[in-house]
Structure 1
């Protein structure tokens, strides 16, 4: 069977020297722009406590301290701690890749706590509105993962499988298609699930659609409901998608549970505890306006 061979240039425009405009950077930019536009709209309607004119600055700060810093430190702790112990400077080598979505969640939550206290906003209001936009950022990010040929899926013989030359350490421009086909025939490379696209569709666009629907419901108007619902939805989606994704560092817990599934399960438990703590699981809290 002639499988699709990944052959996409991750660089959109070459600039000066090593500088280049990459699809990965554009994906992050698109996610942040989408968040800014949605949050400005909700701020204008009085649904988001951050003033409309301050939304852009809010997103820039959240992107750096929450997404990037939290995501990088999370990756080092959850997936690359051995590398960090061997070389502490590993934490700064972001050009080698390595961002953790679970670490990003922790970073964003800590940032929102700080920002809410500093500016006298409701943490739950900030979290609920951010949760409704986060999935778009994940969707664009996973699409960029596919363009880069990273975080590929498990081996499969499905007709839509993709061959990633990156599996053999090859990158765009370092191979020709006939040679890759021969490596597939020899068993050096394996057709794999394009799990990045699965994750973009499910963890990204599908969860985003659910969040927009929840936002219109009575449940979604409870303080904290959207933020916690998003964490639950994402965690279940991530657990499901991990069955198609090649496990990070081929590491498992309990023999068959991937790190992504384990951390997502912990997220579900923690989120349910938070939902009970703030009272949104109680029926008599429908009209209660808790400010945290």
Structure 2
């Protein structure tokens, strides 16, 4: 049975102030990263770093996600809209965040923090990688609630009918309910690609990376696994997702998201190859962690 999407993207309204679910999902992602990161710090998974230093890393990472994600979206997918309204770059609560831009932002933030801490860059990235997937999953749930980035039409019984579909723009909320109840909208059911990504990029990646990183691994290995998994999952889901900007890059199937994912797959394979010759960072006793 198809599902008619009727979720209000606004979670809470206080006069002119509106709290969108999309922004709330980002907050949940940061809280999850903080909680998981504190556990890894207590376990000594980044020797020489205490809770205060990790708080600095998380703060820089949050800036990297928001600024990098938004700037990346503007550069990769919404440059024409930015030219029409430059202030739109600040409207993060309306959606429009690029994972690849956010990843570059986090990598830059981690590089800055790592230099100050005098650590090896990929020791930091290996520490951070397992903290990210739950945030990705929450972000995709935000996409679903906001009825954006949906998939292609499907005849599968779990298809979702999104009122934001241009083909349904002439119907009121009442008409949508009535026609859906009568089975007249089944042809407009789409793959809930946001939920596919939430499951793969969020739950599956978290389970794999958290389990994989519980034991000491050679430098580069955890980062490599992260890049490989995300690139492969994103490349696969793009086959059932409406291409960004509504058009394919080539061959009536290749999307911009897939093009941006290929370097991640290659990077992941390269990092995993490097890890075979790299040293393994051993956990330090929490009592031995120095103050930042």
Residue 86 and residue 30 in structure 1: after superposition, are their counterparts in 2 closer, same or farther (change >3 A)? closer
Residue matched to 2:43: 45
* C-alpha distance in structure 2 between counterparts of 1:30 and 1:92, whole Å: 20
Mapped to 2, the partners of 1:59 and 1:170 lie a distance apart of 42
Contact 1:73/1:103 (8 A) holds in 2? yes
Report deviation, 1:93.
Answer: 4.4
Maintained 8 Å contact 2:224/2:267? no
Tell me the TM-score normalized by structure 2. Answer: 0.85
Indicate yes or no: 2:265 matched with 1:268: yes
Aligned twin of 2:165: 167
Distance in 2 (alpha carbons) for counterparts of 1:91 and 1:62:
19
For 2:239 and 2:24, locate their aligned partners in 1 and report how far apart those are by CA, in whole Å: 28
SS at 1:99 equivalent: coil
Which one of the candidate residues 125, 128, 134 is aligned to 1:136? 134
Instruction: Note the residue ranges of structure 2 that are not aligned, 5 or more in a row.
Output: 283-292
CA-to-aligned-CA distance 1:176-226 (integer Å, 9 cap, x gap): 243553998379x71101111111111110011110221135xx6111211
Question: For residue 244 of structure 2, what is the aligned residue in structure 1?
Answer: 248
For each residue in 1:85-120, what CA deviation from the matched residue of structure 2 results, as whole angstroms up to 9, or x when unmatched?
455444344455311001111111111111111232
Equivalent residues in 2 for 1:275-290 (5 A)? 279-282=274-277, 285=278, 287=280
Give the one of 143, 151, 154 matched to 2:149.
151
Please report how far the alpha carbon of residue 170 of structure 1 lies from its aligned counterpart in structure 2 after TM superposition: 7.9
Aligned to 2:233: 237
Identify which range, 22-31 or 108-117, moves more after superposition.
Answer: 22-31
Q: Which residue of 2 aligns with 1:69?
A: 67
Asked whether 1:12 is paired with 2:11, we answer yes
Q: State the number of aligned residues.
A: 277
CA distance in 2, matches of 1:33, 1:70: 19
Deviates more, 1:124-133 or 1:47-56: 47-56
* Alpha-carbon distance in 2 for matches of 1:194, 1:139: 14
Output the CA distance in 1 between the equivalents of 2:269 and 2:80: 31
Cα shift readout 1:100-145 (whole Å, capped 9, x = no counterpart) = 0011111111111111112323321221111011000011111121
Q: Displacement, 1:274?
A: 4.9
2:256 to 254, 259, 268: 259
Partners in 1 of 2:96 and 2:14 — Cα distance?
24
- Preserved contact between residue 140 and residue 194 of structure 2 (Cα < 8 Å): yes
In the aligned structure 2, how far is the partner of 1:88 from the partner of 1:10?
24
Unaligned ranges ≥5, structure 1: none
- CA-atom RMSD, angstroms? 2.7
